[in-house]
Chains A and B, each alone.
Chain A
Amino acid sequence: MAHDEMVDGRGGMRPQWRSLLGVLAGLGHEVLAERRTRLERILAEEGVGGLLPGAPPDRWRFDLIPLPLSRAEFAAIEAGLIQRARLLEAVLADVYGPQRLLAEGALPPALVFGNPGFLRPCRLDPQMPEDGLMQIYAADLVRGEDGAWRVLADRTGWTDGLAQALENRRRLGRVLPELFASRQLSPIGPFVEVWQERLQRLLPDRAQDRGSVALLTAGHAHPGWYGHVLLARELSCALVEGGDLTVRDGRLLLKTLRGLKPIGVLLRGGDGRGIDPLELAPDGHGVPGLLGAARGAVRIVNHPGSGFATAPVLAAFLPDLATRLLGEALALPSVPTLWLGDAAAREQVRGAPDRWRLRPAFSARVAPVVADAAPAAWRPALAAAPWRFAATEASPPSAAPCLGATGLEPGPVLIRVFLIADGHGWRAMPGGLGCVPAEGEAFWPASGPILAKDVWVLADMPEAIFGPPASEAPRLEIRRAAGDLPSRVADNFFWFGRYLERLEGGARLLRLTIARTAQPAPAPHELAEINLLADCLTEAGLLDAEAIAGISQTGLAQALLRAAGRGGALHGRLRQAMQVSGQLRDRLTGEMHAVIGRGVRDVEEALGRVAIAHHGEALDSAAQAMARVLAFAATVAGLAAENMVRGGGRLFLDLGRRVERAQAVADELARVLDFPGATEEPARVEHGLRLALELCDSSITYRARYLAVLQPAPVLDLVLADEGNPRGLGYQLAAARALLAEIAGSGDPSLALLAAQLSEEAQAMVRDVAAAPEQARAALLLPARLRALRDAVAELSNGLSRRYFALLPPARRIGS
């Protein structure tokens, strides 16, 4: 019989559940179910998977029913885990130091030298930190049938879940505030403050420029990325990737817009084995030379080699090691574990196959299996090198109430408890993360979907709040500029802006063209317009030049509808923009992310309704879909303007839009002013001018200013020179100039000056036309200048990339 968390087996309810259950019963199942729906919506919108339909869903699902533990019970867990943390530290210090345990025969050589988590470059470090290789430690626990907690896994390397535990507590407070009304619940927030404080204290003690704290992530494709984003936010530290960092003169530096900034403490968000391609795995996401820097001024938390102690087989040796290293008995034991390198252990497992589960000795990522069900790939190794395996006793988890379809249902539960070293000793976060494992298993999966629970520690009396000790963080300078933005992030914002604009411009162009192809019998000049627009679309990559060469008007209409529909070229642009916004997930507010996610779903629905079979309806559906795309782009731009701090990524997002639009407008205007036959008959340029107004969405403004009289200079002034027209070229260039000046601050102004020159060239074009005796003929000279201007804008964009983004090229390993 599995232990029951809620009832005591004699018909009574455990005290820690009484008032909680009272509140739940008072709310009733319907209310709880409705709250669960609300929570799921929040998770879908704020979660990392909420952006692209079809993308893997957020793997953290969350059960509304907390798991309460009494203060006394948790105190015992905490004391036991503190002892384990001390023990594991001592083991790590020996294994990476004098190796007395090996010399004395307390650890078989296979356990160290056969463990891929033993990182030889981390050994015999002259700078081995005095205060230990671990600063954070977590343990997964299971409660056995006898009611006692045992440790399933020691997480001595990087541990996922701390930020999720905090996030879950907050979400629970949002959707089910009733639970918190009268509870005396130990708060978990202060724990993070202590942790943050501790990281500050670990910064190297240098008079100037101690550097700052950063969290290293393998990027948005890494399964732990969402956790990294949350944790970086909790700790208010920079989230960085290997490519953002470089080691120079023994220091670790972050590439920001204002140059290289020192990093003094690097939290690693993944396996220590991938942290330095020079000395460790060459295919990791790390920083070449990082271990070299770590031997000097940089502190890596936890130490890259600390993952050694996650080997499940170590559990078999901990009781003896506790006596030997601490002179104490192990207070909180592991689930019984045997090392199969030992003949007696193999006998024991053979004698009671139902009782034991096999697992790799050195990988905590693989779930234990029944011996008969061992994967075929293990068999040769099991026979030839049984020392690579361990056996753990099957341990059915305790059962705790979870919110089911019709009410509370018991489900198996494991808990993960987090501890940090605060400089004086270890302390546990009063709470934790619960996990409902797969049926029949007692294993916390390393990846894959998890149903999480909030673990509560009840206070017997109002909490004595432990606040952070007096801070010695350096006094911050007031900053408003974008200087500390990592170059990679600025680059992503710039491209997010460009892709959004590319999407919007594409939708505008498609809408205009599709509407024209609907005319039943177009006049020759109308046909010429359609062809010009098709050229613009081809240039923009929305139509395939070869596919539309010489096709009928109906054929063209269908090609346009395909480009506008689901899976078409415009949809591709949406995905492109969303991919970048996914990489910016940590930089966008939850609200913005949610709005973008909803907008994308709406747009994709609308694109899906674009039919290409029935002409009339199809045009209508396409027009609607394009309107949806334009509304979406406007929403994102508006949100950015209203919500984002200017100094952050917003300058770059704006700049991306301006640069993209300037290039597109210059190109389109060059094409329409080259109206067919205009060279022979300059009056025909009028058709081009009309199209120019439409392309720049400026017909209404023109009419308001000049009524129905169409003349080259006034039209060109509106679309080229007027810096007040947000769809005209002048506006883009003027805005780009201002943005570049703001980004440069007191630095090199050359890019802003270049933008000012381009702005002046646009003004000059209009002046030249206005001053010409024959305006139409003068306008015919503009296409060449506009193309030159377009190319100059592209060059400006390249200059911007070189100046501010210049990412490090990928690292390659070479050798003699």
Chain B
Amino acid sequence: MIYRIRHTTRYDYQAPVDYGVHLAHLVPRPLPGQRVLSAAVEAVPALSWRHDGVDHFGNAVAWLFLDTPHATFEVTMRALVEVAFAPPPEAPLPEARATPPWETVAAAAWRGGAGAWQASEFLFDSPLAGADPAARAYAAACFPPGRPVLAALLDLMGRIRAEFTFRTGVTTTATPIAEVLRRREGVCQDFTHLMISALRSFGLPARYVSGYIRTRPPPGQTRRLGADQSHAWVDAWLGSEHGWVGLDPTNGLIVHDEHVVLGWGRDYDDIAPLRGVILGGGEQSLTVEVELDDAFPPADVAAACPAPGAA
């Protein structure tokens, strides 16, 4: 599946901002199963300086500097991405009952060492997703002793999908997990943090994936929740043999070909699409627009993505 993405973030400031520096995690991450055909980030007004690099988690990151007064700042990412995560043949999803018991996975992550140490990082508390007793209590029924880890994960994802209402505007990035649990509502970020927190409380590595989900659902299916905006879901670790699996608790989906990955971190803070520090500016308002259109005829792809050197 090929998607054309446009993601625009716009700040409108009440008073001119003298100086701003922004950290952008806006470029889709090339992965097995995700080919980035083209990607570009444009800013208005023009940047005074830009620096590109790779963060600790391996995500592309850009530092955007503005040092002349500006009343608005708009960043647009456009990309063309081909996605086909993991269905056969390269890396078939394991049968849930063929995965190891969750305790075995937890013990391997704690030990670290070869094959596990990189996953171990996602065991530990992070500012927005610490192991939370309330989250643990909520998820406890999914984790009876000895249950295969993927079975437990799918059970938990299904419960969150069934028991929580997707509603925008009732939570912010600062809303604590306990509050989300109490309200039984929120957005994809909240459900993702909740699930990560629960998994960490059982000693299971879980990471926060930032990205998008298709705007138009596959034929005959309902519209996906979290479309037309930044989306988030969970990567959970099944042990060194099976690696990571993407689970979208907002839609109750295993990540396959309807999602585009920007990158991942321990929680939202590590991978926020755009965050910055500004001097001056007074009140500000923020607008975000996302479009993810699918199904290009191959000819369009060729036109949109000229061969290298053709530009």
Question: What are the nearest 7 A-B pairs in CB distance?
Answer: A109-B120, A105-B113, A815-B275, A288-B277, A109-B112, A120-B56, A123-B56
CA A296 to CA B276, docked complex, whole Å: 20
Interface residues of B in 216-240 (CB under 8 A from A): 230
Chain A residues engaging chain B, CB cutoff 8 angstroms? 99, 102-105, 108-110, 113-114, 120-121, 123-124, 126, 246-250, 277-279, 282, 288-289, 292, 295-296, 808-816
Residues in chain A near residue B113, CB distance under 8 A: 102-105
B123 lies within 8 A of A814 (CB): no
Q: How far is the CB of A346 from chain B (nearest CB, A)?
A: 15
CB-defined A-B contacts under 8 Å, sample of 29: A105-B111, A108-B111, A109-B124, A110-B110, A120-B56, A121-B55, A123-B56, A126-B53, A248-B67, A249-B48, A277-B277, A288-B21, A288-B279, A289-B63, A289-B65, A289-B277, A295-B51, A809-B18, A811-B279, A812-B277, A812-B278, A814-B11, A814-B275, A814-B277, A814-B278, A814-B284, A816-B272, A816-B273, A816-B275
Residue of B nearest to A108 (CB): B112
Chain A's interface: helix, strand, loop or mixed, by majority?
A: loop
Residues in chain B near residue A246, CB distance under 8 A: 19, 67
Given contacts A113-B123, A124-B55, A815-B173, 16 further A-B contacts (CB under 8 A): A104-B113, A109-B109, A109-B112, A109-B121, A113-B120, A120-B55, A120-B270, A121-B55, A278-B21, A295-B51, A295-B53, A808-B19, A812-B277, A812-B279, A814-B278, A816-B273
Most buried by B among A247, A278, A812, A814: A814
A124 lies within 8 A of B56 (CB): yes
Q: How far is the CB of B195 from chain A (nearest CB, A)?
A: 20
Q: How far is the CB of B113 from chain A (nearest CB, A)?
A: 3
Q: How far is the CB of B83 from chain A (nearest CB, A)?
A: 23
Residue of B nearest to A276 (CB): B277
CA A808 to CA B18, docked complex, whole Å: 9
Q: Is B288 an interface residue (CB 8 A)?
A: yes
Q: Is B146 an interface residue (CB 8 A)?
A: no
CA A278 to CA B66, docked complex, whole Å: 14
Chain B residues engaging chain A, CB cutoff 8 angstroms? 9, 11, 18-19, 21, 23, 48-49, 51, 53-57, 63, 65, 67, 109-114, 117, 120-121, 123-125, 173, 230, 270, 272-281, 284, 286, 288
CA A289 to CA B23, docked complex, whole Å: 9
Most buried by B among A103, A108, A279, A289: A289
CA A249 to CA B19, docked complex, whole Å: 12
A248 lies within 8 A of B284 (CB): no
CA A745 to CA B113, docked complex, whole Å: 65
B121 lies within 8 A of A113 (CB): yes
Residues in chain B near residue A124, CB distance under 8 A: 54-56
CA A247 to CA B272, docked complex, whole Å: 22
CA A812 to CA B121, docked complex, whole Å: 29
A292 lies within 8 A of B51 (CB): yes
CA A109 to CA B200, docked complex, whole Å: 14
Residues in chain A near residue B124, CB distance under 8 A: 109-110, 113-114
Residue of B nearest to A811 (CB): B277
Q: How far is the CB of B149 from chain A (nearest CB, A)?
A: 18
A813 lies within 8 A of B112 (CB): no
CA A249 to CA B21, docked complex, whole Å: 11
Contact of A296 among B9, B51, B270 (CB under 8 A): B51
CA A99 to CA B120, docked complex, whole Å: 13
CA A99 to CA B116, docked complex, whole Å: 13
Contact of B274 among A103, A120, A277, A815 (CB under 8 A): A815
B48 lies within 8 A of A104 (CB): no
CA A347 to CA B276, docked complex, whole Å: 48
Residues in chain B near residue A110, CB distance under 8 A: 110, 124
CA A292 to CA B61, docked complex, whole Å: 11
CA A104 to CA B230, docked complex, whole Å: 37
B114 lies within 8 A of A104 (CB): yes
CA A124 to CA B286, docked complex, whole Å: 32
Q: How far is the CB of B296 from chain A (nearest CB, A)?
A: 27
Q: How far is the CB of A43 from chain B (nearest CB, A)?
A: 39
CA A812 to CA B21, docked complex, whole Å: 11
CA A246 to CA B270, docked complex, whole Å: 24
Residues in chain A near residue B284, CB distance under 8 A: 814
CA A126 to CA B53, docked complex, whole Å: 9
Once A248-B67, A814-B284 are accepted as A-B contacts, the answer to whether A109 and B110 lie under 8 Å apart by CB is: yes
Q: How far is the CB of B267 from chain A (nearest CB, A)?
A: 12
B288 lies within 8 A of A247 (CB): no
CA A95 to CA B58, docked complex, whole Å: 15
Contact of B279 among A121, A808, A815 (CB under 8 A): A808
Q: How far is the CB of B265 from chain A (nearest CB, A)?
A: 8
CA A108 to CA B113, docked complex, whole Å: 8
A278 lies within 8 A of B23 (CB): yes
Once A120-B56, A279-B23 are accepted as A-B contacts, the answer to whether A813 and B114 lie under 8 Å apart by CB is: no
CA A296 to CA B63, docked complex, whole Å: 12
Q: How far is the CB of A610 from chain B (nearest CB, A)?
A: 45
CA A680 to CA B55, docked complex, whole Å: 81
A103 lies within 8 A of B117 (CB): yes
Residue of B nearest to A124 (CB): B56
Residue of B nearest to A281 (CB): B127
CA A754 to CA B147, docked complex, whole Å: 83
Residues in chain A near residue B273, CB distance under 8 A: 816
